[in-house]
Amino acid sequence: MFGFGKSKQHKEIGPEELRAMIADGVALVVDVREPDEYASGHIEGAVNFPLSRFDPAKVPQEQGKATILQCAGGKRSGMALDRCAQAQAAIDTHLAGGIGAWKMAGLPLVR
């Protein structure tokens, strides 16, 4: 009744928080968009790991860094987080609003 049937909430961070984490060297961004989307513009240092081939056990991770998933608008990274939860992977955070929010915040992309 109360809360049954609801999917687990994902942790979300905003563009400025992610920018600060990247600058501090404590975040690894994993872009779950397809390669052509990634090539059209991505966050500097982001690793492309498309949702179409997404396997939580193979997600790149770096010791001492939080792995933050990111897509175009938040839907696919949320789907990837669902897969991580099912696999009991430690990854539980994504960029709220995806690359769209990053761009709207005026933050740079690598092309």
Measuring CA to CA, which residue among 53, 54, 50, 29 is closest to residue 110? 29
User: In angstroms, rounded to a whole number, what is the distance separating the alpha carbons of residues 75 and 60?
Assistant: 20
CATH of the domain spanning 11-104 = 3.40.250.10
> pLDDT by residue (tens digit) across 24-48?
999 999 999 999 999 999 999 999 9
Tens-place pLDDT, residues 67-104: 999 999 999 999 999 999 999 999 999 999 999 999 99
Q: Report the predicted TM-score, pTM, of the whole model to 2 decimal places.
A: 0.91
